[in-house]
């Protein structure tokens, strides 16, 4: 099944049995209901289809997505605490927290655009919501896959120095 020729409907129909089985297998250990895991993974698939198109390996992507949702559920369960104080105080998920997170993302993207050489392209690819593999990034940028790691390290060093100067100046 080539990803160009598959419709979203065909993808859902073909993946439904696998998702049902994966969610049923993973749910007991995560504390989540299988139906909740399935729904979360379907949402991730819709987000991916909207931004990046269908995955190149739909069954592999689905298995990874289920495991990601299980980890997210476990982390959420560990963080849950008794509700005390003002119920309207939602902390980092409230309007202020969301605004601060958006501002941090904008500042990071602005800093990435100011990096030298190929660094902006490489960092944008690494930050992509499509989560491309090193092979895909190397192909897109026209560089060898083996040089991607050292290039990434160099770019991250440049970004770290740039942001350190800005924080110190601010």
Residues 20 and 63 in one domain: yes
**H or E segment and range at residue 45:** helix 34-51
Q: How much is the pLDDT for 119? A: 92
Widest distance between CA atoms in the chain: 55
Q: How much is the pLDDT for 5? A: 54
Residue 64: name the closest of 50, 77, 45 by CA. 45
Residues 125 and 161 in one domain: yes
Residues 54 and 112 in one domain: no
Q: At which of 53, 79, 105 does a domain end?
A: 79
Residues 34 and 98 in one domain: no
**Tens-place pLDDT, residues 86-110:** 555 555 567 888 888 888 888 888 9
**Tens-place pLDDT, residues 19-61:** 999 999 888 877 788 888 899 899 888 888 888 888 889 999 9
**Tens-place pLDDT, residues 108-147:** 889 999 999 999 999 998 888 888 888 889 998 998 988 8
Residues 100 and 40 in one domain: no
Domain range for residue 69?
Answer: 8-79
Residues 65 and 96 in one domain: no
Residue 12 lies in a domain: yes
Alpha helices in 52-147 (DSSP H): 58-79, 95-113, 119-126, 134-141
Residues 73 and 109 in one domain: no
Instruction: Residue 103: give its domain's CATH number.
Output: 1.10.10.10
Sequence-distant (≥ 6) Cβ neighbours of residue 14 within 8 angstroms? 1, 6, 58
Residues 96 and 138 in one domain: yes
Residue 52 lies in a domain: yes
Residues 152 and 102 in one domain: yes
Q: How much is the pLDDT for 21? A: 93
Residues 48 and 117 in one domain: no
Number of separate domains in the chain = 2
Residues 71 and 97 in one domain: no
Q: How much is the pLDDT for 18? A: 93
**H or E segment and range at residue 29:** helix 8-30
Q: How much is the pLDDT for 80? A: 53
Sequence-distant (≥ 6) Cβ neighbours of residue 55 within 8 angstroms? 3, 48, 61
Whether the pLDDT of residue 3 is over 50: the answer is no
Q: At which of 79, 111, 128 does a domain end?
A: 79
Q: At which of 79, 106, 130 does a domain end?
A: 79
Residue 60 lies in a domain: yes
* Separation in Å, CA 151 to CA 79, 135, 142, 143, 156: 36, 14, 13, 10, 9
For the chain, give the mean pLDDT.
82
């Amino acid at each position: 099944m080539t990803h160009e020729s598959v419709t979203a409907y065909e993808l859902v129909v073909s993946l439904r049995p696998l998702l049902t089985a994966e969610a049923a297998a993973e749910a007991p250990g995560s504390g989540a209901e299988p139906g909740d895991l399935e729904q979360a993974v379907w949402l991730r698939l819709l987000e991916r289809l909207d931004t990046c198109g269908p995955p190149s390996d739909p069954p592999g992507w689905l298995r990874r997505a289920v495991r990601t949702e299980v980890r997210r559920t476990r982390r959420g369960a560990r963080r849950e605490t008794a509700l005390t104080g003002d119920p309207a105080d939602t902390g980092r998920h409230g309007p202020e927290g969301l605004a601060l997170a958006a501002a941090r993302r904008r500042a990071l993207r602005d800093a990435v655009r100011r990096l030298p050489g190929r660094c902006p392209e490489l960092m944008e690819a690494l930050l992509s919501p499509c989560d491309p593999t090193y092979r895909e990034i190397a192909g897109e940028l026209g560089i060898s896959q083996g040089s991607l790691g050292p290039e990434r390290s160099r770019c991250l060093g440049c970004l770290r120095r740039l942001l350190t100067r800005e924080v110190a100046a601010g």
